[in-house]
Chain A
Amino acid sequence: MSTLQLTRRRGLAAAGWLGPVVRRLGSGLAVLWAAATAAYVALLFAPGDTVDVLIGDGLDTPERRAQIIAEWGLDRSALEQYGDYLARLLRGDLGHSYILQRGVGDVLSSQIWPTVSLALTAAVFGVVLALVLALATAGRRSRFGDLVGLSELVVVSVPPFLIGILLLAVFSFTLGWFPVSGDRGFVSLVLPAVALGLQISGVLGQVLREGLERALEEPFAVTARSRGITEWRLVIRHALRHALLPAVTLLGWFTGVLLGGAIIIEAVFGRPGLGQVTVSAVTGKDMPVVMAVVLLSALAYVTVSTIVDLAYLAIDPRLRRSR
């Protein structure tokens, strides 16, 4: 009879997972739709004629105007336009750049990989550094800990491009270890990734350490110590999971920091990528490209946030029961 009960309970536990997972996926999609709508509304309500906004600094001819009106359906009712816009997005059609004379999807897909590899490398570097430093310094009052705390403060207070410039000055110009600019494989990825990753590790390190210290003061930590476990085990087996909860919340925000940071860092290191595309699009008022980048970043944010929410469920059993 007890085996029977066990299986029943297991089934229930699985059901307890399913509800929240479906709910979070659903709300992720809803947010994405709302974000696309918000971008569209912003475009329509931007000061000036929508056709002017879409042309930007591109060549302004009657033929092109007609093309834009046709492409965006500006001569049709607002609802039809909007439906058309969503339908195009669903097909993956991000529109046409009237300055570059190319499809936006085409422009982005040729430049996305350098940015993604930069962001991912930076994320891995930043997370690992933060984790190592937080574990090494949590709760211990030491010179080293103070130094790490101070460095974190400095790192979060320095504009990311300044870190990039400093790294360039030291490691490229003075020591000559790394190339000054361009994209020449992994070597040229190191300095930009470090510059970008430090931003993350500064914030994440502080959050992790505070989380660890708070967890180590909780009554359950006293109970765990009273069982005779070592401090190291206490940190790894108990405190770390508690510290991860607030840290995981930040991951969505990190996506924004990484993408925004990548734009600037690419400029510092003269790297190709979405950053350069974005900057020249903003300078040239190439609205279709700017909008596509903004939507892409919202997609990244929502994807990461949804993963984060699911990670939360995995870490904290208290959230699993559906209310």
Chain B
Amino acid sequence: MSLIEVEDLRVAFPKAGVEAVRGVSLSIAPGECVAIVGESGSGKSVTARTLVGLTGPGATVTAGRFTVKGQDALRFGQRDWRRLRGRFAGLVLQDALLSLDPLRTVGDEIAEVLATHDVVSRADRKARVIELLDAVGVPEPEVRARQYAHQLSGGLRQRALIASAIAADPPLIIADEPTTALDVTVQAQILRLLAARRAEGTALLMISHDLAVVSSIADRVLVMKDGVIVEEGPTARVLSAPAHDYTRLLLAAVPSAASRGTRLSAIAGGVSLRAPLPERHVGHGAPVVEVSGLSAAYGTRKVVDDVSFEVYPGETVGIVGESGSGKTTVARLVLGLLEPVSGGVRLNGDPWSGVSERRRRSRRSGIQVISQNPLGSFDPRYTVGRLIAEPLSGSSSDRKARVIELLGRVGLAPDIAGRHPRRLSGGQRQRVAIARAIAPRPDVLVCDEPVSALDVSIQAQVLDLLAEIQAADGTALIFISHDLGVVHHISDRVLVMREGRVVEEGHVDEVFFIPKHDYTRELLGAVPKLAPAEP
């Protein structure tokens, strides 16, 4: 008997006028691992939460059939749902810093499940909490149980969250983007932990935006788009022979070593994938940016330590590292927003750090930035047209014409100039940010996690756009990312950073195919591969 069986599930939020899920059917057998993959707004999370009766207020849930453990869930009241939550299915959400109550200890959070479902007697609860923390691989469980979520590292908190989900030993775990906010090495550990639970017989429903993450663990994959399942099947089959165009598009959009030099998104109107990107010329001779022996500190803490590199015209230099590696600080140093403690930056051969801001001002158009959160970099009062025109000079009609031209270059319609960025989608906002960054015709663009907040298909479009602009203008790129696939796809050379230092650098193929440093090897080993799990 299936744990959960649902046919033609529909979830609507009538007040908001949204039908989030439109006819989804799925079943989960005991011990099985099913994954739902889709981009934001696909309805995957709503589907998962509906399965435990947590759709939220104001939602209308209808289904042709909806059974949980063989009982008719359509007749469930709140009391019936409560009995199942935690006991029948445990929920693991993204980022335990937010998903665990920050004002209660980790131990209290786990004990709550034990108390609610009377799993063990009151006297044994404490011991059981420690057993559970131990079981999910938390070292020093007695100490950790008394700590709060903010006192634990990202990986440990996520383990604690999993401990609370499995405390009542449910036959099913529903994991909604369980590794999304985590560094890649920690992600690998959490995935191994979930796989181990599965090996012990617990069924797993994984929700993810990342095909690669689920491919190592799921038996079956359901691809969701706009509230509908467009394709489903065994993981191996879906990955190797996708039947639906959207699945193909998703797979093609994933940047990797193999995608270097090719487009990730389909050209408008065409279906041909992986068309070649325009030729790009990397200049030799004088570098645009020269960084030598750069160090920076916040207070007494050194965050960047002796970093050196050059960037040549038209070249792309990738900087990869996990959170806290100092890569964003390097970006701020190169942009002249932060003064180094020692070492220096030269821009186009002249000193860039260590000079007064007054002397830097006229040269600032030579180096521009694209950040992860474009909305935060836009003055909230400005329209798109005003934003793009700001770094431009010239008469008002000249500037207007340039804005239209720039909008065209980033693939946006001219009428967007009058709109406000808040009314645009994430991808459109990033295009506006790119148009503004290239407006003063810079020699080098610093891109700090420019695609990290975007869905994979949008990410593909933005990466293709950057490549086109680079080929046309000969702009150099400093591309900072935590995503090794993206960096491999776009970069010529790469720097691997850890705790403020560069541990390895070189041509991207060399570094990623024949890593010399242990840390690079560890990083590469932790990246989920788009390959089905070994049987």
Question: Which of B78, B103, B143 lies in contact with A9, CB distance below 8 A?
Answer: B143
A43 to chain B, nearest CB (A): 42
Question: Distance (Å) between the CB of B88 and the closest chain A CB?
Answer: 9
Task: Scan A213-235; emit 1 where CB is below 8 A from any B CB, else 0.
Answer: 00000111011111111110100
Across the interface, do B82 and A230 meet the contact criterion of CB distance under 8 Å? yes
Nearest-CB distance from A150 to chain B (Å)?
22
For chain B residues 126-152, which have a beta carbon within 8 Å of chain A? 140, 142-143, 146, 148, 150-151
CB-based contact B98/A218 at 8 Å: yes
Interface size on A, residues (CB 8 A): 27
Q: Which of A70-78, A92-100, A115-123, A310-318 contacts B (4 or more CB under 8 A)?
A: A310-318
**Which of chain B's residues have a CB closer than 8 A to the CB of A157?**
none
Cβ of A24 within 8 Å of any chain B Cβ, yes or no, is no
Instruction: Give Cα A132–Cα B383 distance, bound, in whole angstroms.
Output: 46
Pick from B86, B90, B99, B102: contact of A222, CB below 8 A.
B99
B84 CB contact (under 8 Å) in A6, A228, A230, A238 = A228
| B89, B101, B113 interface centre (most CB from chain A within 10 Å) | B101
A6–B142 Cα distance when bound, in Å, is: 8
Q: For B94, list chain A residues within 8 Å (CB).
A: 219
Instruction: Check B476 for interface membership: any CB of A closer than 8 A.
Output: no
Residues of A within 8 A of B148 (CB): 317-318
Residue in chain B with minimal CB distance to A218: B98
Q: Does B499 contact A (CB under 8 A)?
A: no
- Cβ of B83 under 8 Å from chain A: yes
Q: How far is the CB of B382 from chain A (nearest CB, A)?
A: 29
Given the complex of chains A and B, what is the CA–CA distance between A39 and B368 in angstroms? Answer: 52
Nearest B residue (CB) for A317: B148
CB-CB under 8 A from A222, the residues of chain B are 49, 54, 91, 93, 99
The one of B140, B150, B164 that contacts A5, using a Cβ cutoff of 8 Å: B140
- Which listed residue, A218, A233, A238, touches B104 by the CB 8 Å rule? A238
In the assembled complex, which residues on chain A have CB atoms less than 8 Å from the CB atom of B86?
226-228
The reply to whether A225 and B54 contact each other, CB–CB distance below 8 Å, is yes
- Cβ contact within 8 Å between A241 and B112: no
Report Cα–Cα, A222/B92, bound state, in Å: 10
Complex partner residue of A228 from B82, B101, B103, B140, CB under 8 angstroms? B82
Min CB–CB distance B69 → chain A (angstroms) = 14
B40 at the interface (CB under 8 A from A): no
B161 contacts which chain A residues (CB < 8 A)?
223
Min CB–CB distance B522 → chain A (angstroms) = 29
B144 to chain A, nearest CB (A): 10
Which of B49, B90, B116, B151 meets A229, CB within 8 Å?
B116
Interface residues of B in 48-82 (CB under 8 A from A): 49, 52, 54, 78, 82
CB <8 Å contact, A227 and B100: no
Judging by beta carbons under 8 Å apart, are A227 and B54 in contact? no
A315, B148: Cα distance in complex, Å: 12
Interface residues of A in 4-34 (CB under 8 A from B): 5-6, 9
Contacts of A220 in B (CB 8 A): 98-102
Alpha-carbon gap, A238 to B113, bound state (A): 14
Given A2-B142, A220-B99, are A226 and B54 also a contact pair (CB < 8 Å)? yes
Q: Hey, which chain B residues are within 8 Å of A228, CB to CB?
A: 82-87, 113, 116-117
How long is the Cα–Cα vector from A316 to B150 in the complex, in angstroms?
A: 11
Q: Which of A266-318 contact B (CB under 8 A)?
A: 315-318
Is B95 among interface residues, defined by CB-CB distance under 8 A? yes
With a CB–CB cut-off of 8 A, which chain A residues contact B103? Answer: 238, 241-242, 315-317
Contact of A226 among B78, B91, B95 (CB under 8 A): B91
Q: Which residue of B lies closest to A315 (CB)?
A: B103
Known: A227-B86, A229-B116, A237-B112. A219 touches B98 (CB 8 A): yes
Residues of B within 8 A of A226 (CB): 52, 54, 85-86, 89-91, 165
| Inter-chain contacts of B82 with A (CB < 8 A) | 228-230
Chain B residues within 8 Å of A2, by CB? 140, 142
Asked if B143 contacts A5 (CB within 8 A), the reply is: yes
Contact with A along B151-162 (1 / 0, CB 8 A): 100000000010
In the complex, the answer to whether B102 meets A318 with C-beta atoms within 8 Å is yes
| Contact across chains for B91 and A224 when beta carbons are under 8 A apart | no
Smallest beta-carbon distance A141→chain B, Å: 9
- How far does the Cβ of B166 sit from chain A's closest Cβ, in whole Å? 11
**Residue from the list B84, B100, B150 in contact with A223, Cβ < 8 A:** B100
A139 nearest CB neighbor, chain B only: B57
Question: Which residues of A have CB within 8 Å of B112?
Answer: 224, 227, 229, 237
Q: In angstroms, how far is the closest chain A Cβ from the Cβ of B47? A: 15
Contact call A219/B93, Cβ cutoff below 8 A: yes
26 cross-chain CB contacts under 8 A: A5-B142, A5-B143, A219-B93, A219-B95, A219-B99, A220-B99, A220-B102, A222-B91, A223-B93, A223-B100, A226-B91, A226-B165, A227-B112, A227-B116, A228-B86, A229-B116, A231-B78, A233-B116, A238-B103, A241-B104, A242-B103, A316-B103, A317-B150, A317-B151, A318-B102, A318-B150
Chain B interfacial positions (CB closer than 8 Å to A) = 49, 52, 54, 78, 82-87, 89-91, 93-95, 98-104, 112-113, 116-117, 140, 142-143, 146, 148, 150-151, 161, 164-165, 167
- Nearest first, the 9 closest Cβ-Cβ pairs linking A and B are A226-B91, A228-B85, A227-B86, A228-B86, A219-B98, A220-B101, A227-B113, A219-B99, A228-B82
Please name 11 further chain A to chain B contacts, defined as beta carbons within 8 Å, in addition to the given A220-B98, A227-B116, sorted by A numbering.
Answer: A219-B93, A220-B100, A220-B101, A222-B54, A223-B100, A223-B164, A227-B85, A227-B164, A227-B167, A230-B82, A317-B148
